Each structure stands twice: as structure tokens, then as C-alpha cells.
Chains A and B, each alone.
Chain A
Amino acid sequence: MLGWAVIRPRGWPEAVAAVPAAVILIAAGAIPADDAGAEARRLGPVIGFLIAILVLAHLCDDDGLFRACGAWLARSSGGRPRRLLALVFVAAAVTTAVLSLDTTVVLLTPVVFATAARLQVRSRPHVYACTHLANSASLLLPVSNLTNLLAFAASGLAFGRFAALMALPWLAVIGTEYAVFGRFFASDLGAAPRPPPDSGAEQAPLPVFTVPVFTVVVVVLTLAGFAVASAAGVSPAWAALAGAAVLAGRALARRRATPLSLLRAADLPFGLFVLGLGIVVQAVVGNGLGQALAPLVPAGTSLLALMSIAALAAALANVCNNLPAVLVLLPLTAASGSGAVLAMLLGVNIGPNLTYTGSLATLLWRRTLRRHGEVPDLGEFTRLGLLTVPAGLVIAVLALWVGLRALGG
């Protein structure tokens, strides 16, 4: 099923495989219909939350937020590669945290690449920064990553407390990535145009940048709404929905969006895929995998226990993919409390920088690309992952442990 999701025969959505798989398992009795129903009711609001965020990000893009971001990067960096990298780190970390990793991968990365190309700066470090931070900077908020949303719903943490506990690991991981990137890409970052830029006349003028103020205000208010709603005992999904509704209403009124374009942005087939995946994973866990893994999940929230949970989660995310990994580990870690759940999130969010999509999916992806005559070079990606992932994991778990001690676990 994961293989299908990566290869996508004929461009069919992932749900085409996931939903029938779930139906077959229910019909075959591998999972009781009641349990499947409970799983669907649990996942429903989480998926709704994700859809609201995806629509919000799509509307931000329509309003020119990422174009403005590209122009800001070009201007503020002045074409200096090291400065550009620092700014890309800021942009990618904030985008990922607030608008989810999907937004960084799909909407920010192309803008960063185009900016680097226009500045005649080597794009490799900056593109890698986006793809790496899309994973490792997705620790901060429940909305940053679908894995967080799933865990957030199960952990019982308030939005603000989740963010407070994850803030230190988030900063620690970003710092680790930055330190490694500076060394790893030293030659690319050192290749700056000679000062004075005697080719100044040959370069295209830098774009003027206008910040879509209204959009930014809505996003900031939505963010505040998450914390307020959660503190008041209301699901923060409503804040996301409200933010998306305001921007959607404005876009519809200005005829910049149509109901159809909004529906496409909502990506309902993906929601169905997650639902199907959840039920399939539930069936697999119920039929032995849960029992097999349970002894590997240590109890308690000692530093050693947190480290083991994060390492196990990272390994599982690399063997299959982080989405099934979180669905499998969630019930096993939830018993040990929120500290264990957060340690598991560190593993599933930072871990994927070792293999793009989990090794199984990466293998299938390589095979399909090779059939088309292209062989992706995974050497550099893997070397960078080996330098950042283990170090990032250890430092993040330490930071989480410190946070849990300081704020009370």
C-alpha cells in the first residue's frame, strides 16, 4: 500500500489503494468494525484540522506570501550565500512550524530555489535546508506536522504546553542542522561573487517586495487562536477553520479563488488515504505487531527511556514511513505519558532526513525513476543525513528532558 502511495500508478490518488485495503481488512474480520469506526472517529477531526491548514497555506500562497518571502530573501541576503542560508533557515523553520511541513516542501522550496538561481548563488545548500527543516523544524507546534496532530489528539496536552515543551528541542535541532550545514556545504557557501559585484549591471533588478499584510495578520491571529481555543477547552481545529474561512471568503469575494480551487486545495483524497491507513495500521497492530513492539518501548520518562523511544521511532520511520510509524507507536507510548509521546515525535520527525520517505518507499521510488532513465544520487543526501540525524536526535532528546524537568513532566 505504501508502495502504491509512492509510485501512484496512472496518477491515481493514494486513497484508491488505502480505502479498499481498509474495507477488505474490515470485511475479513482482521479488525472489528467497531474498532474501525472508533479509529475513524478519532482520525476525523485530526484530518479536518490538517485540511484547514492546507487550505490556509494554499490561500497564503495565492495572496503572494511566498513570493514576498523570496523577494525578502533576495534583498536581505544581498546575494551572500552564508547570509542567504541563515535567512532560509529562518524562513523554513517558521513556515514549517506555523503552516506545516507540507507547505515548506511544496510552496517554499521552489521559491528558495528560484531565489538562489536568480542571485546566481549555488542552490544546493539552500534547497537541502528547506527539505531538512521541513522535517526537523516540524517539532514546535501540533500543526507543524501530521504526526504531531495525531499525537496531540492522543496526548491530552494543551496547545501552549505542547509548544512550550517542544520549543527547546526545536531550537536545538535547528542549531545542530545549521552548524552541520555550514561545514558540509563550506565550498558552495564560500563561492561568493567577487566584491565589488562588477557584474551588477548584468543582473536582473531585485524584485520589489510587498508583504500581504492582511494575510499575515490572519495567520498570526489563527496562531493565537490555537493557544486560546486550546486553553478554553475548545479544539484548536476551529481556529484553523476560522482562519482558512476568512482568507477563503476574501479570495472568493475578490474572485481570486473558486469553490473548485478551494476543494482541490483541501485534498480530500489525501484525507481518505490517512483514514484508510489508520484502519490498516490498527489491524496490523491488533494482529501481533503491537505485541511484538511493546517490549521494545521502555516505560517511564528517564533520559534513557526517552532516548530509546526516540531511536525506536526514528528507526521505524526509516523502515516504513513516519505516518504508519506514529500510528503504530502512539498507543504504546501514550501509556507512559506525554513525555514519551513527545520523545516519539522527535524520532518520527527528525528521523526521515536519513531516507526521504522511509527506506521501503525510497527503494520503490528509485526503481521507478531508473525505469525512466534517471538515477537519483542519494549519496550526498545520505551523508548529510548521517551527520545531522543522530546528532539532532540526541540533542533534541536532551533538550526535551531538560524541558520536562523544568516545566514538570
Chain B
Amino acid sequence: MTDSDTTLRSVIIWVCEGTWQATVDAALSLAPAPARFTVLHVTSRAPADTARGAYLGLLGRGGHDPGARFDEVAAEAAADLVEAAARRLGQPCERLEIQDHSERAVVAASAHADLLIVARDGDRSRLGPKSLGRATRFVVDHAACPVLLVWPDAAPDVGTMPPPPHHPHLGGR
């Protein structure tokens, strides 16, 4: 990349296991072109901490701390995922791999971006608040930049929208 890239819009693509293809595709079809792309992945420390905690519960009997190998395996898997996303994007991009406890890292990393692309990752069978998992909801609620929120597959039919709440004073539905 050259220095003139700073004049381009910066677009951060948050890639997660299972839904990353949709965010990359959205970057290609919906983001301003040309743009300065960053592929962002956050590895949660929760699995390693969980394994470490369970091991400590054994009071040290037998073998080694299984959590120790987790970081290595997780970093490798994250690098593979980011690499696959970059290849699908097919354009020069920055790669950002963060290890953290929560998706606060996504909000922090995207604070000065022109656009953050996020995929829904909850219940995808109907429209509604449950189509956002905890982490995704946190990012959507807290993001300091514009967010592009996409469905990982075809969006559910608009008929799956929950009925409006019942308001007797307004004459019901």
C-alpha cells in the first residue's frame, strides 16, 4: 500500500468462524470502492481459560496444563481464517489478529474506521433481536463508527417479523 491510501475510506471486515464469507462478500459488493480494507479477527480467551480452570480443579494431578497449547492452536486457526478471508477478498488488505476476552476489541479497533462490516450470528430462521449473538450485539450497540450488518445467508422472509406488541390504548393491532 502507498501513502496516498490514507485518502481512501477505511473499511474493517470483522471475520468470525462460520459467517466470515458473508462479511467479505459484503465488502466486495457494498463497500465504497476503492477502499482501504482491514480483515479483523478476535480470538476469545474463554476456551483456554476454561480448560486451564478445569485443570486447576484437578489440583495438578496428571499431565500438563492443557490450556498452554490452546493459544498456539487458536493463533494458527485464526491465521488460517484471516488468510482465507484475504484470499476471498482478492485485494490488498491489512490483517489484524487480536487475542482478547471480549468483543470490546472490535469496538476499539474500529473506532476511527469509515465502515465496520459485521455478520449476524444468532437465530437466522426469523427476523428479530435473537439474530444477534452476545458479542455481535455488543459491537452493534457500542460501535463508534458506521456499521454494515449483513445476514450470513439469505435473510428470512419478512413475514417472520414478530407481531407488534399489544397496546390496548391504541386500539390493539
Interface residues of A (CB under 8 A from B): 2, 5-6, 8, 13-14, 54, 57-58, 81, 101-103, 105-107, 109-110, 113-114, 117-118, 120-124, 127-128, 130-131, 134-135, 186-188, 190-194, 198-199, 202, 265, 267, 270, 273, 321, 323, 352, 356-358, 361-362, 365, 374-377, 380-381
Contacts and interface: CB of A to CB of B under 8 A. Distances in A.
A6 B51 contact: no
B18 A121 contact: yes
A81 B16 CA distance: 14
Contacts of B51: 105, 109-110, 113, 127, 130-131
Contacts of B74: 113, 117, 123
B44 A321 contact: no
B60 A54 contact: no
Closest 5 CB pairs of A and B: A187-B133, A191-B18, A117-B77, A356-B53, A131-B54
B57 interface: yes
A244 to B, nearest CB: 13
Interface residues of B, number: 51
A357 B152 CA distance: 39
Contacts of A109: 51, 54, 66
B55 to A, nearest CB: 6
Interface of B: 16-19, 21-22, 44-47, 49-64, 66, 69-70, 73-74, 76-77, 80-81, 84, 87-88, 101-102, 121-124, 130, 132-134, 136, 152-153
A84 to B, nearest CB: 12
A283 B63 CA distance: 30
Contacts of A381: 50, 53
Nearest to A362: B53
Which of B55, B64, B84 has the most CB atoms of chain A within a 10 A radius of its CB?
A: B55
B60 A122 contact: no
A126 to B, nearest CB: 8
Contacts of A265: 62
Given A194-B21, A199-B21, A267-B62, A357 B70 contact: no
Given A110-B66, A134-B54, A321-B59, 6 more contacts: A105-B51, A120-B80, A123-B74, A128-B47, A356-B57, A374-B45
A118 B77 contact: yes
Given A113-B70, A191-B121, A106 B55 contact: yes
A5 B59 contact: yes
B112 to A, nearest CB: 26
B70 A110 contact: yes
Given A113-B47, A113-B51, A117-B73, A190 B123 contact: yes
A131 B133 contact: no
A376 B101 CA distance: 8
A187 B122 contact: yes
Nearest to A107: B63
A193 B46 contact: no
Nearest to B54: A131
B114 to A, nearest CB: 26
Contacts of B122: 186-187, 190
A199 B59 contact: no
A123 B59 contact: no
A165 B56 CA distance: 30
Nearest to B70: A113
Nearest to A365: B56
Contact of A376 (B16, B53, B55): B53
Nearest to A128: B50
B66 to A, nearest CB: 4
Nearest to A134: B54
Nearest to B119: A191
Nearest to A376: B49
A160 B168 CA distance: 63
Contacts of A375: 101
A114 B121 contact: no
A90 B101 CA distance: 29
Given A113-B47, A199-B21, A377-B46, A357 B57 contact: yes
B54 A114 contact: no
Which of B60, B121, B124 has the most CB atoms of chain A within a 10 A radius of its CB?
A: B60
Nearest to A119: B17
B126 to A, nearest CB: 12
Contacts of B63: 58, 102, 106-107
